[in-house]
Amino acid sequence: MGYVQEVISELVRKNPGEKEFHQAATEVLESLELVCDRHPEYQKQALLERLTEPDRAILFRVPWVDDKGQVHVNKGYRVQFNNAIGPYKGGLRLHPSVNLGIIKFLGFEQIFKNSLTGLPIGGGKGGSDFDPKGKSDREVMAFCQSFMTELYKYIGADVDVPAGDIGVGAREIGYLYGQYKRITGLYEGVLTGKGLTYGGSLARTEATGYGLIYFMDALLKSKGNSFAGKRVVVSGAGNVAIYATEKATQLGAKVVAMCDSTGWIYDEAGIDLAAVKQIKEVERKRLSEYKNYRPQSEYHTDGVIWDVPCDIALPCATQNELHLEHAQTLIKNGVIAVGEGANMPTTPDAAHAFQKAGVLYAPGKAANAGGVATSALEMTQNSMRMSWTFEEVDAKLQGIMVNIFHQVDEAAKAYGQADNFIVGANVAGFTKVANAMMAHGIV
Ligand code: NDP
């Protein structure tokens, strides 16, 4: 058995039950086989073993009181995976499905994504199995305050800088920041995704979705193509999905379908994004409401959004949402490109089916890096005690995403794997972290 396969089987043995972490680590490590063949010193230094073992995983109890006076207890997590190239950086996810394996998969992916941005940020991730859905603002505040009362011990502007993810938007970041400031007395850039009145960056809200489209635009242009006139399907109706839809539409595409966790909408005339924003961002309701704005649209609770024929598919909801049979349907319907706004939304067999069929397939760690890149720009602005305009941040974001595309493209070609953007992203993200780890000695 070769070095990489040995590391994978030990990782599976040592981390039983963490299936999403196994999946993410296997995908990355298998693409690094070529690199390890060229660098035998990595095996001697146990570089992959060190890379796949987090620096630390912090697990804690989060007790909070609901509006009726009942006490609840949730699990809290922060996995600080790797800080070879900068302070730990990665979001907090609040969703009932959260467990250690999911946080470790996300934290591991974050190492490579953050490296690809070219900015000095390491990888981490955190969250809780708390479900903010259906909770009052006071209950969400009670949870966030309790969560931060433990988390504050482990984070700091130069140590670990969490941000939002599923279930954590501006409201939650506000409550978390307020509690951090109250406990520590520090007014520092310890979280990103902050409100504009207290250190947030313009364009952070839009960054992941816009960044995805900038990346896909660079990819399409490299093949002499573009978004103009394309039919697009976007899964999700959250932060990433909404702003991917906005930018794709600005570039001349027509987004015809979106979904949330209970159903999907189809609007042949093109999604009315103002209606989706009102339903999801303002009223926090279900997409079934969309018909009230656009009576000619369709709302479905059966079937899947991937049955809708399209040129470009953008999975922007959650992990493992696009399976092999969905990929086969998309391919049959003539899809030319798939760009991951979410983290690991495509199962490995589906991703390989796309690659085999010649579909341009962009993995999330490259294509959705715009969010964390803009978070790093927020950290820079906080350190400088100044704010850039929307246009300045957006222009930097666009430059970063185009640069990520070229790094990924060139890394794939350098290893004889042209158009294999999985290999390109993993190799390009890994190289910088590996060089830093080698320089730091055995730590
Ligand atoms: P949000 O919570 O804002 O939105 C998630 C959306 O996906 C919601 O509309 C949700 O539905 C929907 N959804 C969740 N699970 C399912 C499911 N099983 N089937 C269909 N729809 C589902 O999260 P974000 O937009 O922030 O994050 C989406 C993805 O992007 C995640 O994988 C996240 O890790 C990744 N990501 C996010 C970044 C960011 O900056 N926000 C940065 C990089 C990656 P409902 O409305 O019903 O809850």
Confirm or reject: Cβ of 132 under 6 Å from ligand 1.
no
Mutate to test the pocket of ligand 1, among 208, 210, 233, 375 (most ligand atoms within 8 A of CB): 208
By alpha-carbon position, which residue is closest to atom 35 of ligand 1? Answer: 342
Q: How many beta carbons lie within 10 A of that of residue 298, not counting itself?
A: 14
Q: Give the span between the Cα atoms of 296 and 385, in whole angstroms.
A: 49
Atom of ligand 1 nearest to the CA of 280: 46
Whole-model pTM? 0.96
Give the model's pLDDT for residue 58: 98
Confirm or reject: Cβ of 321 under 6 Å from ligand 1.
yes
Atom of ligand 1 nearest to the CA of 163: 40
Give the closest residue to 247 by CA, choosing from 205, 304, 305, 307.
205
CA of 312 to the centre of ligand 1 (A): 19
Q: What is the pLDDT along the chain (443 residues), one digit of tens a residue?
A: 899 999 999 999 999 999 999 999 999 999 999 999 999 999 999 999 999 999 999 999 999 999 999 999 999 999 999 999 999 999 999 999 999 999 999 999 999 999 999 999 999 999 999 999 999 999 999 999 999 999 999 999 999 999 999 999 999 999 999 999 999 999 999 999 999 999 999 999 999 999 999 999 999 999 999 999 999 999 999 999 999 999 999 999 999 999 999 999 999 999 999 999 999 999 999 999 999 999 999 999 999 999 999 999 999 999 999 999 999 999 999 999 999 999 999 999 999 999 999 999 999 999 999 999 999 999 999 999 999 999 999 999 999 999 999 999 999 999 999 999 999 999 999 999 999 999 999 99
By alpha-carbon position, which residue is closest to atom 44 of ligand 1? Answer: 342
Atom of ligand 1 nearest to the CA of 305: 20
Q: How many beta carbons lie within 10 A of that of residue 426, not counting itself?
A: 27
Give the model's pLDDT for residue 152: 98
Confirm or reject: Cβ of 79 under 6 Å from ligand 1.
no
By alpha-carbon position, which residue is closest to atom 9 of ligand 1? Answer: 237
Mutate to test the pocket of ligand 1, among 166, 276, 280, 374 (most ligand atoms within 8 A of CB): 166
By alpha-carbon position, which residue is closest to atom 10 of ligand 1? Answer: 260
Question: Which residues are tagged catalytic?
Answer: 125
Give the model's pLDDT for residue 1: 81
By alpha-carbon position, which residue is closest to atom 36 of ligand 1? Answer: 342
Give the model's pLDDT for residue 176: 98
